[in-house]
C-alpha cells in the first residue's frame, strides 16, 4: 500500500479531528471529504479504505465503528483518503481489486477490473463447463490477468493463452497468476490480438475479450478516475469498435467449428456488434444486458 504523502514528499493535510477519534468518526470525516471532492459512493469508498487499513472486512468495519483508531492507523487511513480524494481509482489506492472472489493485484499500468467483467468471465466459464473437459481458451487483452486467471481456476483441465500489448500489464498478470497458483496453465504472450495464431486453424475452443471499446473522443469526457487508467485499455478508435471489428474478422480462423467468441462491449454497441459478428459468420449471436439494462456481453458461435 502506498504512503501517498510521504511518497510525494508533501505534508499530509491536517485531519479535522486532530488525528483522534473512533473508526466511525474517521469514516464520517472521510465521507464528508469525498463528497466535497465529488467522489462517487462516498461512504462505501471510506469503508473499503478503512477495511484495508484495519485488514478486515467491510462488515467488521461497521461493527467496530466505536473503536478508536491508533495514531498509525489514523495516519495511514487519512493518507489513502487524500489519494482517493484526488479521484485516483480505488483499486489503485488499495493496490488490489476483488474479481470473482479472487484478490487481484492492480497497478496504474492496468485497467481496474470491473464488476461487469465478472459477467463476461462467468459467461465464458459457463460455456466452457458445458463443453469438453480440456478446452483451449484465448483471452485477448488480459490486463491484470483477472479473466484468464478466473477461467484457469474454474476449469482445471483448461489450457489458457492470454495476449496483451503492454509489457508492464503482462508482468503484473503473471504475478497475479503465480499468486493464484495457475501460472503454469496460462501462457501470457506479448502479442497483438490473436497473434498466438501459429497454432493453425481452429485451435481455440473459446475466445474471450474485454477489448478497448470507448470511442476516442469520449475518453476525455469520462470521470476523472477512468481518465487515469491506461489509454491503451480504453481507446477503441473513432467509433469504439476497432478492436471488436478486428477480433470478429479473425475469429473464424482461430475458433474451432462450434466454438465460442465472448466479448464485453459498450452500452450502446449491441446492434453494431451483432452485425459485425453475423457478418463474420457467427451464429446464434446473443447480446446480453447488464444489471442496469445496458448492452454488455456479446456471444457468438463459430
Ligand X SMILES: C[S@@+](CC[C@H](N)C(=O)[O-])C[C@H]1O[C@@H](n2cnc3c(N)ncnc32)[C@H](O)[C@@H]1O
Stretch that binds ligand X, among 15-23, 41-49, 80-88, 140-148 (CB under 6 A): 140-148
Cell 462488515 sits on residue: 59
Report residue 189 as a C-alpha cell.
504472450
Q: Pattern 185-224, binding to ligand X, x per CB under 6 A?
A: -------xx----------------xxx------------
Closest distance to ligand X from the beta carbon of 118 (Å): 9
Q: Is 165 in the site for ligand X (CB under 6 A)?
A: yes
- Cα 292 versus chain centre, distance: 18
C-alpha 233/C-alpha 213 separation (Å) is: 8
Part in contact with ligand X (CB under 6 A); list of ranges 36-44, 77-85, 163-171, 278-286: 163-171
Nearest to 2 by CA among 79, 55, 74, 54: 79
Q: If you search the block for the grid coordinates 465529488, which residue do you land on?
A: 38
Q: Within a 10 A sphere around the Cβ of 50, how many other Cβ atoms?
A: 26
Query: How many separate helices (H) and strands (E) can be counted in the chain?
Result: 13, 9
Shortest reach from residue 190's CB to ligand X, in Å: 9
179: left (phi over 0), alpha (psi -120 to 50) or beta: alpha
How many positions of this chain bind ligand X (CB under 6 A)? 24
Task: Tell me the CA distances in angstroms from 64 to 50, 54, 79, 106, 190, one per residue in order.
Answer: 11, 10, 21, 28, 46
Q: Please identify which residue in 39, 94, 111, 265 interacts with ligand X, judged by CB under 6 A.
A: 111
Instruction: State which of positions 234-293 bind ligand X (CB under 6 A).
Output: 243
Work out whether 163 is an interface residue with ligand X (CB under 6 A): yes
Q: How far is the CB of 253 from ligand X (least distance, A)?
A: 16
141 part of the interface to ligand X, by CB under 6 A: yes
Please state the length of the chain.
302
Pick the binder of ligand X from 45, 82, 96, 166 (CB under 6 A): 166
In three-state secondary structure terms, 302 is coil
Q: Which is nearer to ligand X, 25 or 290 (CB)?
A: 290
Interaction of residue 169 with ligand X, rule CB under 6 A: yes
Residue closer to ligand X, measured from CB, 45 or 166: 166
Alpha helices in 56-188 (DSSP H): 58-63, 71-85, 90-94, 115-129, 146-154, 167-179
The residues binding ligand X (CB under 6 A) are 110-111, 113, 117, 140-144, 146-147, 163-166, 169, 192-193, 210-212, 232-233, 243
Amino acid at each position: 500500500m502506498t504512503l501517498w504523502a510521504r511518497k510525494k514528499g508533501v505534508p499530509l493535510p491536517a485531519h479535522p479531528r486532530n488525528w483522534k477519534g473512533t473508526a466511525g468518526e474517521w469514516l464520517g470525516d472521510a465521507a464528508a471529504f469525498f463528497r466535497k471532492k465529488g467522489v462517487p459512493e462516498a461512504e462505501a469508498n471510506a469503508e473499503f479504505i478503512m477495511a484495508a487499513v484495519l485488514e478486515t472486512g467491510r462488515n467488521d468495519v461497521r461493527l467496530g465503528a466505536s473503536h478508536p483508531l491508533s495514531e498509525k492507523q489514523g495516519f495511514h487511513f487519512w493518507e489513502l483518503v487524500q489519494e482517493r480524494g484526488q479521484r485516483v481509482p480505488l483499486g489503485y489506492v488499495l493496490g488490489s481489486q476483488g474479481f470473482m472472489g479472487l484478490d487481484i493485484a492492480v497497478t496504474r499500468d492496468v485497467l481496474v477490473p470491473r464488476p461487469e467483467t465478472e459477467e463476461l468471465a462467468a459467461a465464458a466459464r459457463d460455456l466452457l463447463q458445458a463443453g469438453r473437459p480440456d478446452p483451449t481458451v484465448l483471452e485477448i487483452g488480459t490486463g491484470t490477468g483477472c479473466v484468464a486467471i478466473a477461467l484457469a481456476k474454474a476449469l482445471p483441465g483448461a489450457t489458457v493463452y492470454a495476449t496483451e500489448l503492454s509489457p508492464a500489464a503482462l508482468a503484473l498478470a503473471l504475478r497475479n497468476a503465480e499468486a493464484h497458483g495457475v501460472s503454469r496453465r496460462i501462457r501470457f504472450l506479448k502479442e497483438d490480438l490473436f497473434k498466438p495464431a501459429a497454432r493453425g486453424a481452429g485451435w481455440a475452443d473459446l475466445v474471450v475479450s474485454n477489448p478497448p471499446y470507448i470511442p476516442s473522443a469520449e475518453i476525455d469526457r469520462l470521470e476523472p478516475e477512468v481518465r487515469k487508467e491506461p489509454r491503451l485499455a480504453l481507446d477503441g478508435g473513432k467509433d469504439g469498435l476497432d478492436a471488436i471489428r478486428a477480433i470478429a474478422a479473425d475469429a473464424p480462423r482461430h475458433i474451432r467449428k462450434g466454438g465460442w467468441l465472448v466479448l464485453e462491449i459498450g452500452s450502446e454497441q449491441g446492434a453494431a456488434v451483432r452485425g459485425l459478428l453475423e457478418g463474420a459468420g457467427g451464429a446464434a449471436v446473443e447480446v446480453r444486458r447488464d444489471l442496469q439494462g445496458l448492452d454488455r456481453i456479446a456471444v457468438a458461435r463459430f
